[in-house]
Structure 1
Amino acid sequence: MLAEVATEGVLHRSEFLSVWLRFAGRVPGHRSTELVRGYGGALVLTQERVLATVSSMPWRAGRAVDQPWTAQGPAAVAGTLSKSGLVLRIEDLSRVDPLFSGALSLTFQTTLSAEVLWQVPTRDIAFDVSPLFVYSVLGGPQG
């Protein structure tokens, strides 16, 4: 991933960081009133986009975010950058798949300096994901 973004003007890079999943709801094959699970991950902010990976299974990291800063508007996932990292929230999982219900969030814990936050074009992004994304961050196969 780093070779891919080297020409984009890297503003921030964090590897081996803690990623916290919070899930309350129902997805075929998964049901929880309050699941909290820790994973490893990475976060890269460039002048062009936001990239983040999460490893929900050992030795298998998948992209949680690969979006340009212009990714805005109504979408299932809302992402917010702050001094303590990146939070991705899906407040209504039925927007991803009508068979889903509840909410899910991923928190990428890292320290973002005021300088980095000043350099990024926006602190908020929005994008859609497939049902496969939800299954993969829950750490299991599709229901």
Structure 2
Amino acid sequence: MAGLLRKLFRIGRLPDDLRPRVESEGVIYLGEYLAVVLRFTGQIPGRKSVGLVRGYGGSLALTNKRVLGTVSVLPGAGGRAVDQPWNAAQSGPVAGTLSESGLVLEVADLSQVDPTFSGHLSLTYKADLPADVLTRVPTRTLAFEVPPKFVYSVLGIPRG
């Protein structure tokens, strides 16, 4: 039912401004209207939680050049959770893992994003990735940096 509602209200569609770039890079996989599950336990200024679980819609694109994942709660308003070239330096507090069941982005120690943060945060893109897709991507693991604003955004906390 939730998947039908995401499609009906177009929540989790790849934003129109990204589609031509994704298509020009050679699409390996493109999933839209996917379930994206946020899990957060910890504390940041403005929010404390002992097990927040929240569902979003999102899109996941694997191209010959990069992995791109968006998250949205409103139609046509997808923010990027990951936009990582395959050949970029693989370092930072966010660890990403691709598997048959999708993509998991995890920050095991939020203090590595900002010293005022503590705890754990993850985003799980629920997608059925066939074995042939996984063999075509250069790596199944990623690591990258994010600014503190990323954490506030996925938690729905406005920051000016």
In the superposition, the TM-score normalised over structure 2's length comes to: 0.85
Task: Give yes or no for the alignment of 1:19 onto 2:36.
Answer: yes
Runs of 4+, deviation exceeding 4 Å: none
Task: Indicate the RMSD between aligned Cα atoms, in angstroms.
Answer: 1.2
Q: Which one has more relative contact order, counting CA pairs under 8 Å at least 6 apart?
A: 1
Q: Over residues 27-83 of structure 1, what are the superposed CA-to-partner deviations in whole Å (9 max), with x where a residue is unaligned?
A: 11111010000000000000110000001x423310001111123433110000000
Q: Distance in 2 between matches of 1:114 and 1:40?
A: 24
Count of aligned pairs: 142
Aligned to 1:130: 147
1:95 and 2:112 are equivalent in the alignment = yes
Task: Return the structure number with greater strand share.
Answer: 1
Partner of 2:122 in structure 1? 105
Can you give the 5+ residue segments of structure 1 that lack an aligned partner in the other structure?
A: none
Q: Structure 2: where are the runs of 5+ without partners?
A: 1-17
2:74 pairs, out of 58, 79, 97, with: 58
The alignment partner of 1:98 has SS state of coil
Between the aligned residues of both structures, percent identity stands at 59
Q: 1:68 aligns with which of 85, 95, 98?
A: 85
Query: Which letter maps to 1:106?
Result: L
Which of the residues 8, 12, 28 maps onto 2:45? 28
TM-score by length of 1: 0.95
